[in-house]
Structure 1
Amino acid sequence: MTHTYPVRSTKEQFRNNMFHIVTDEVEMSDGAVLARDYMVHVGAVGVVALDDEDRVVLVRQYRHPVRQFLWELPAGLIDVAGEGLAEAALRELTEEADLIAESVIHLIDIHPTPGCSNERIRLFLARSLTEVPVEEQHERHGEEIDIEVRRVPLAQAVQMIFRGEITNGAAVAGILAAANLVRLEE
């Protein structure tokens, strides 16, 4: 049985530049109409950047909702008009890790919290990395001021996931996907 879950009405509850919260009245398969609150997200990209030694570039950044610093991939919002997803990922790599990549390919897409958000994160694999000259580096603000950038051997990053040291969903998915891809290339 395929039910389409038609939306009978939508009411916006809150809006900012990253997301808005809406309440949909949705018809269930039994005919009942129920309210469903969720976040409509602008979308995001992330990049698994591997250097020539198969070290992955991680950024450690403060995340206020969980009140801690997390190891993550360079990542960010799709918030520049007309910018393609791969270009957004490369921009984030430059802004957060001061790196430029010559090669970028689509790796995977994830829905990190589909029970409460429509957010989709497209993850890319970047290789052939070079440093951004100091005079051209992005000026960081807010939590980005305290970003720590580290290159970690890919196998060690996988171990960090299983030790609970990397818990960011996009980082977990991207690192495991990249490790699988590298293994398949060998």
Structure 2
Amino acid sequence: MEQNKKLSYSCKIFSVWEEDVLLQNGKTTRQSWIEHRPTVAVIPVNDKNELLLIRQFRIPAKQNLLEIPAGSMDHGKESPEKCAGRELAEETGYRAGSLVQLFAGYLLPGYCNEFMYFFLAQDLVYEPLTPDEDEFIEVLPTSFARAAELLKNGEMVDAKSALGIMLAENYLNGQTSFS
């Protein structure tokens, strides 16, 4: 139960809220949390059964990271599927002939309401969109075996990418999706 909710900070990506929360034991506590638009993550797999990973510099991590394509949905203006297609085209230059939702869930529910949809993208066709002006991305076709090595060796440290790759590999090996 929320009481006395106050906006502390807001920017184009997220807002920070503080509120008094009545706990189950009857006590009240002050909590801060981040409000974030829903997001998507796309696991693109080409006709050679390679993942299309991307490498880009991430300011908060202060390093280039290997990731799967991902991004935020426009404020209520697009579906998760439409957002997945847009992010895939912007970040890799490919359009998916087939999109399968593998999973959807909260990323960090202890302090953020960001909800992410994971999609497997196949039947890829090269049709690039103009990338965001602040994104400088390198596309790296990578086998599933190599991606596993990158994760094991700590060369890929993005958690959403680890989950997405495992979901896609399980799905492609006959396990049904979790959505």
TM-score normalised to the size of structure 1?
0.88
Find the aligned partners of 2:63 and 2:163 in 1 and give their Cα distance.
20
More helix by share: 1
Q: What is the one-letter code of the residue matched to 1:121?
A: M
Aligned to 2:165: 175
1:141 aligns with 2:136: no
Q: What is the one-letter code of the residue matched to 2:130?
A: H
Superposed CA RMSD in Å reads 1.5
Seen in structure 2, the aligned counterparts of structure 1 residues 55 and 29 have a Cα distance that, compared at 3 Å, is same
Aligned residues: 175
Aligned to 1:17: 12
Q: 2:92 aligns with which of 89, 97, 112?
A: 97
Aligned to 1:50: 45
Q: What is the one-letter code of the residue matched to 2:25?
A: D
Find the aligned partners of 1:31 and 1:52 in 2 and give their Cα distance.
57
Contact 2:32-2:111 within 8 A present in 1 as well: yes
Counting aligned pairs with the same residue, the percent is 29
Q: What is the one-letter code of the residue matched to 2:142?
A: V
> SS at the partner of 2:42?
strand
TM-score normalised to the size of structure 2?
0.92
Contact 2:66-2:157 within 8 A present in 1 as well: yes
Any stretches of 5+ residues in structure 1 without a counterpart?
Answer: 1-5
Aligned to 1:29: 24
Find the aligned partners of 1:120 and 1:40 in 2 and give their Cα distance.
10
Q: What is the one-letter code of the residue matched to 1:105?
A: V
Find the aligned partners of 1:61 and 1:100 in 2 and give their Cα distance.
20
Aligned to 1:159: 149
**More deviation, 8-17/154-163:** 154-163
Contact 1:155-1:179 within 8 A present in 2 as well: no
Aligned to 1:123: 118
Find the aligned partners of 2:18 and 2:131 in 1 and give their Cα distance.
38
> SS at the partner of 2:21?
strand
Find the aligned partners of 2:15 and 2:86 in 1 and give their Cα distance.
24
Seen in structure 2, the aligned counterparts of structure 1 residues 128 and 113 have a Cα distance that, compared at 3 Å, is same
> SS at the partner of 1:89?
helix
